[in-house]
């Protein structure tokens, strides 16, 4: 009986170690599974970032209005931030102009109307913290008419391309832009620096 008890005491550490080793292997398997799962989730997140990211969409709703003379301006822009410093997109242009005044030359009331309609593509690149290089390539139609007593003339609709290049100063989404049309064909942009302001969100 004493021999059996002595033999059991000798074997007890070996049995305990076998149980501990079995549990340790099980824990290692669970840890490996968790690591594999984590790597897979990180890979999936990385693949999602490579694709289209809605959070990088930018919108600039430019709306302007003035009276005497009347000016209505709608120039919304939609774009995408391709890189931290670069964003580009498409734009829509609508400008309506009307001015009425008394002409001493004709001794009559004189009314001018103009309408611009079109769109284009744009891009902005951040050179420094608050300085941007800005480009707008547009194709706009222009309609003009003039009316007096017993006199009414409407010019045919004409299309004018524009290449507006310049710089913008901005911070926190708000910007002021100064550009020059190098084509000088659109009557709205001729012989002047074209300035505009707006914001992105």
Which CATH number fits the domain that encloses residue 168? 2.40.160
**Residue 93 exposed, middle or buried by CB count within 10 Å (0-12, 13-18, 19+):** buried
What does pTM read for this prediction? 0.68
Does 46 share its domain with 70? no
Nearest Cα neighbor of 124 from 135, 113, 140 is: 135
Does 84 share its domain with 173? yes
Does 138 share its domain with 70? yes
Average pLDDT over residues 61-88: 90
Domain boundary among 12, 29, 51: 51
Each residue's pLDDT tens digit, 7-22: 344 444 444 444 444 4
Does 38 share its domain with 60? no
The model's confidence at residue 53, banded by pLDDT at 50, 70 and 90, is: very high
Q: What is the domain range of residue 44?
A: 1-51
Total structural domains within the chain: 2
Each residue's pLDDT tens digit, 150-166: 788 899 999 999 999 99
For residues 77 and 60, is the Cβ–Cβ distance under 8 A?
A: yes
Domain boundary among 13, 35, 51: 51
Domain boundary among 25, 51, 77: 51
How many CA atoms lie within 13 Å of 31's alpha carbon, on the beta-carbon side?
6
Does 105 share its domain with 188? yes
For residues 40 and 48, is the Cβ–Cβ distance under 8 A?
A: no
Does 5 share its domain with 77? no
Does 28 share its domain with 117? no
**Residue 77 exposed, middle or buried by CB count within 10 Å (0-12, 13-18, 19+):** buried
Does 14 share its domain with 72? no
Does 23 share its domain with 83? no
Does 44 share its domain with 119? no
Lowest mean pLDDT among 59-63, 128-132, 165-169: 59-63
- Measure the CA–CA gap between 67 and 91, rounded to whole angstroms: 25
Does 16 share its domain with 66? no
Does 31 share its domain with 77? no
Nearest Cα neighbor of 76 from 120, 31, 24 is: 120
Collapsing DSSP states into helix, strand and coil, what is residue 152?
strand
């Amino acid at each position: 009986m004493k021999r059996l008890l002595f033999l059991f005491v000798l074997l007890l550490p070996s049995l305990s170690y076998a149980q501990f080793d079995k549990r340790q292997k099980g824990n290692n398997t669970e840890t490996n599974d968790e690591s594999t799962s984590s790597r897979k989730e990180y890979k999936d997140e990385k693949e999602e970032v490579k694709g289209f990211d809605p959070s990088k969409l930018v919108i600039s709703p430019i709306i302007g209005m003035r009276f005497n003379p009347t000016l209505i301006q709608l120039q919304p822009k939609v774009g995408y931030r391709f890189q931290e410093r670069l964003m580009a997109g498409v734009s829509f242009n609508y400008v309506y102009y009307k001015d009425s005044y008394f002409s001493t030359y004709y001794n009559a009331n004189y009314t001018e109307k103009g309408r611009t309609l079109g769109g284009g593509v744009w891009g902005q690149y951040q050179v420094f913290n608050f300085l941007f290089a800005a480009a707008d390539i547009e194709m706009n139609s222009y309609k003009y008419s003039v009316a007096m007593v017993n006199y009414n003339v409407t010019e045919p609709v004409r299309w004018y391309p524009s290449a507006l290049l310049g710089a913008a100063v901005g911070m926190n989404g708000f910007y002021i832009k100064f550009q020059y049309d190098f084509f000088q064909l659109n009557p709205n942009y001729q012989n002047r620096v074209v300035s505009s302001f707006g914001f992105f969100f």
